[in-house]
Structure 1
Amino acid sequence: MIYIGLTGWGDHPALYSEVTSARDKLFDYSGHFPVVEVDTSFYAIPNSATIDKWCRDTPERFQFVLKAYQGMTGHLREDLPYETRNDMFNAFKECANTFKKYNKLALVLVQFPPWFDCTAQNVQYIRYIKGQLIDYPIAIEFRNQTWYARDTKEKTLHFLRENELIHTVCDEPQAGVGCVPLVPISTANKALVRIHGRNIHGWRNIGNMHNWRKVRFLYDYNEEELQALAEQVRQLQGQAKDVFVLFNNNSDYHAAPNAKRMQEILGLQFEDLSPKQMNMFEGEL
């Protein structure tokens, strides 16, 4: 099964009615897509009461991709706002368990920083992550090309497969060592595709450090590019039971229409969604 969605639900105005309040945006979102990435958990681990509301606001079969907290992935180095590393992981597991309680946890996304390169020490840290999150399906996203170098690519994929870790397939600008190539290979019974856009200038953050997020993900995929990506998704469908495709190119709100077009190209009809509050896409695609 192929599931298409977006990274976050709060910033896609095309999906909401004119009277939708911030607290009701997830409900409106779930009338369009069957999965969403919880990206706010990267910055702060949400509490159980908040997750309870998210799960109650969405249909029974709706799924969440839970992004790992930045302290777990090395983005904070050793500057952790928890007394111990175990406290941090326990807080995150409590969060993940609330999604599991509702049977709505698709997987946990562990996205490493660009400086997390292919070394024996970092391989061991991935094993540590696996041990800490043993009860959850884990997707690993690399952001350093050394994991896909000529002499390491097959070893990387073998390592993920051997440890039952989901390989995150990325489409992003090829702008140096801090990015990865598109490698449409699944290493588990689930596959994750994250579509970041192809804005090379924005990815390098040249002259835009104060506003890097707004620039980095500014990209609107054209028809030829979406058709080619759809073929890669079909290829993954032949390798995994479930394929989750998440559009992250939303600096100028392109993610939702690109995702809708991808859905059309793949001929997908998502059932059991929330009632739509508006149908702006009908007749336009």
Structure 2
Amino acid sequence: MTIQIGVTGWGDHDKLYPDAKARQQKLKTYATHFEVVEVDASFYAIQPISNYTKWVEETPEHFSFIIKAHQDMTGQSRRKMTRSEAASLFEQFLASIQPVVEAGKLAAILFQFPPWFQVEKASIDRLRYIRELTKGLPVAIEFRQQSWYAEEYRERTLSLLRELEFIHTVCDEPQAGSGSVPVVPVATYDQLTLVRFHGRNVHGWNQNGREDWRKVRFLYRYNQTELMEWRKLALALEQSSNRVILLFNNNSGGDASDNAKDMMQLLGQKLPDPPPEQLNLFD
């Protein structure tokens, strides 16, 4: 059993890259700080296989990726697709990530559903279809609609995730209406549980007509008391899941990497070993 800690993306955490060399090889440098990362670029566009090949080569053997499903796969883009179009999209996405799968570095594919993805038959059918298309692969589900955790649906939601062997994504985020979810620290898959820290900026979570909404949404720094509470929850989750991954997404103010390292310290973890340097015969 193990707890691994990282952040979402590796490009925007300036504190990790203090000099030009570190900035030129960000992922390689990132892997000297953390042993897991979330790939965000895949949400906006299906990445070329060459990107994943490069990322695999730049990271040590024990490194892992959480790869975010494309926005068309979760309904975030609101694009209407036929069943065959959806199957084709999934096929393209899964083909693109094969270098990570083959290298044994895929921790999970993360399906982060939009706030309008609520409890209803069509949503449940969609979850079943996603599992059909991703059979045999680790898939994490993140809801952003309170209805899934309403008193009358919570246990059925968790049971459905167990039935489909989906990884439950536990969220720490502002409680700001129906488009946010409570902390539900329950494992549904014995191999992995994912926890994502979005911060607790309740005033910035919803758009509310603000032009800078996306810049301030994740503006939050967890304090020691909050992290200590999560240390206990993470250790409890570890008792029912072989692996727990904690990802900090609170980076509007550059706090994610600091909080991730704070949590590592609270758990008594040391930095991962750096990837081996390739021998340059012409040096």
Quickly say closer, same or farther: Cα 1:38–1:230, change in 2 above 3 A: same
Over aligned residue pairs, what C-alpha RMSD do you find?
Answer: 1.6
Question: Is the 8 Å Cα contact of residues 22 and 29 (structure 2) preserved in structure 1?
Answer: no
Worse overlay, 187-196 or 97-106:
97-106
Q: Does 1:205 align with 2:207?
A: yes
CA distance in 2, matches of 1:48, 1:22: 23
- Could you tell me which runs of 5 or more consecutive residues in structure 1 were left unpaired when the two chains were aligned: 277-285
Residue in structure 1 matched with residue 160 of structure 2 by the alignment: 159
Write out per-residue CA displacement over residues 12-69 of structure 1, whole angstroms, 9 at most, x where no aligned residue.
1111131136551001100000000001100001111111111101111100000000
Aligned-pair CA distance for 1:207:
3.1
- What is residue 107 of structure 2 aligned with on the other side? 106
Query: Where does structure 2 lack aligned partners over 5 or more consecutive residues?
Result: 278-283
The one-letter code of the counterpart of 1:66 is: I
SS in 2 for 1:121: helix
Q: Show the counterpart of 1:238.
A: 239
Amino acid of the residue matched to residue 214 of structure 2?
A: R
User: Contact conserved, 1:41 with 1:69, CA < 8 A, in 2?
Assistant: yes
1:141-171 deviation per Cα after TM superposition (whole angstroms, max 9, x unaligned): 0000000001100010011111111100000
More displaced 10-residue stretch of structure 1: 85-94 or 1-10? 85-94
* TM-score normalised by length of structure 2: 0.93
In structure 2, the residue matched to 1:70 is 71
Residue of structure 2 equivalent to 1:218: 219
Is the 8 Å Cα contact of residues 32 and 271 (structure 2) preserved in structure 1?
no
Q: Paired residue for 1:141? A: 142
CA distance in 1: counterparts of 2:272 and 2:239, whole angstroms:
22
SS at match of 1:214: helix
Aligned positions of 1:1-285 closer than 5 A: 1-20=2-21, 22-79=23-80, 84-188=85-189, 189-208=191-210, 210-274=211-275
Contact (CA 8 Å) 2:192, 2:243: kept in 1 or not?
Answer: yes
Evaluate the alpha carbon distance shift between residue 191 and residue 77 of structure 1 in structure 2; reply closer, same or farther with a 3 A threshold. Answer: same
Q: Determine the C-alpha separation between the residues in 2 that align with 1:119 and 1:23.
A: 47
Aligned partners of 1:39 and 1:94: how far apart in 2? 17
Displacement after TM superposition at 1:95 (Å): 1.8
Aligned to 2:281: none
Tell me the CA shift for residue 274 of structure 1: 3.3
- Kindly indicate whether the alpha-carbon contact (under 8 Å) linking 2:60 and 2:276 is maintained by their aligned counterparts in 1: no
SS of equivalent to 2:25: helix
- What SS is found at the alignment partner of 1:167? strand
Q: CA deviation at 1:269?
A: 2.6
Question: 2 CA distance for matches of 1:122 and 1:231?
Answer: 33
Q: CA deviation at 1:78?
A: 2.5
Provide the secondary structure at the position in 2 that maps to 1:26.
helix
In the superposition, relative to structure 1, how do residues 275 and 13 fare at CA in structure 2: closer, same or farther (>3 Å)?
farther
**Given the superposition, is the C-alpha separation of residues 275 and 255 from structure 1 closer, same or farther in structure 2, using an over 3 Å criterion?**
farther
Q: Any conservation in 1 of the 2:193–2:241 contact (CA below 8 Å)? A: yes
Report if aligned partners of 1:173, 1:203 keep a CA contact under 8 Å in 2: yes
